Amino acid sequence: MNGTSSMLLIGVGGSGCAIARGVSRAFGGGLRFAMIDTDASTGELDGDFLLIGGDRLSGRGSGGNIVTAKTAFDDSREAIDNLLEGVRTAVVVTSLGGGTGGGVTCQLARRLADRGIRSLVFATVPFSFEGENRQRSARSVISLVADSADASFFLPLDRLVGETDNMHDAMRRAVDTVASGITLFWRLVEKPGYIKLDPERVRGIVGGAGRGRFAVFGGQGPDRAAEIVEAMAKSEALAGDAPVKSILCGILAGEDLRLSEISRIAEGAKNAFGRNASFEISTVNDEETFAGRISVVIMLFEGNGRGADGETQVSRRTGRRARNILAVGPQGRGRFSNSEPTLLGDEDLDIPTYVRKEINLDY
């Protein structure tokens, strides 16, 4: 196992493992991470790897079947529990739309909750060109992941790349974008500057954070802070209908970071996303990596996740989760939220038909 931190980065499925591996390389060593997959070929590269469903699947993968992936997780529960020893906060990165990413992430988020481990899930949602079957598979598990995780980000891959990218470049850029953002977040925690964000502080922030929006900005030159503030306000990735309950702002820079720049970025985030939202800020001063430039990590949370008592937090007024454009539509399971889903193929039949079929109702 890499490192001794109480925080663990877990990659789930082929794409999730690729992102976790990229974060580890970019971080430069000392990051505690592990990979979980049903496909043995994922473990051929570097990193701590746990193959699940080995006796049942013989390392061939889940074949895109969510139920098969969930069964593989249950078969390997003891090994997964061993992986989680000493962990207080887990950052899970995965890709929805396939079997392992969707099925294992659902079960893992629940297991983390059962063990009292705070969980922060980053899940990519398939490109539109990947087809309706993969999109439907992703939608069928979004609410299950969100209901079990303390905090969750659902990141549509279409929004992470340019329209002119070819398929190969688009896939690589999307993975690199997510990996670089998580790497910067990890630097905030493990290599804090004057304003610290340590693992226990992260644990407190994540508790009850709910669905979130996530983006990274960069700038250099004399107007870099102003440029970042402008980019934040216009960011499509941070746009959403649900009110923001809390903001986490991380600033990574070299020794030339000025107090006026910290203040300008902090005020810009508050003005753009909610003056009444709870606000946390952290800095990293790393001259070797960030000389002459600033990188800013912004996380916005809706505050409807699992609270300190482990129960899902919902709106007192409506009794429902707030909507979030990054979550690709509401997928509430109502009175079935704490039950195993009834699956037909890749569809969760406990979710109302009008939600599964994305039929808009006027109300």
- Same domain for 248 and 164? no
Report how far residue 88's alpha carbon sits from residue 32's, in angstroms, rounded to the nearest whole number: 12
Q: Around Cβ 248, how many Cβ atoms within 10 Å? A: 26
Phi, psi torsion values for 281, nearest 5 degrees: -135, 150
Kindly report, residue by residue over 173-215, the tens digit of the pLDDT: 778 888 889 999 999 988 877 888 888 999 999 998 999 999 9
Of the candidates 279, 301, 323, which is a domain's last residue? Answer: 301
User: Which amino acid is present at 300?
Assistant: L
Phi and psi (nearest 5°) for 269? -65, -45
pLDDT tens digit string along 264-321?
A: 999 999 999 999 999 999 999 999 989 999 999 999 999 865 544 444 443 332 333 3
Q: How far apart are CA 110 and CA 132, in angstroms?
A: 27
The values of phi and psi at residue 92, to 5°, are -105, 130
Instruction: Give the separation between CA 89 and CA 30, rounded to whole angstroms.
Output: 16
Which CATH number do you get for residue 104? 3.40.50.1440
Determine the structural domain holding residue 282 and report its residue range.
212-301
Whether residue 207 is found in the same domain as residue 116: yes
- Indicate the number of domains in the chain: 2
CATH number at residue 242: 3.30.1330.20
Dist CA 341 CA 229 (whole Å): 43
* Rounded to 5°, angle at Cα 123 from 269 and 59: 155
Q: Do residues 186 and 20 lie in contact, with contact meaning Cβ atoms separated by under 8 Å?
A: no
| Range of 44-48, 270-274, 354-358 with top mean pLDDT | 270-274
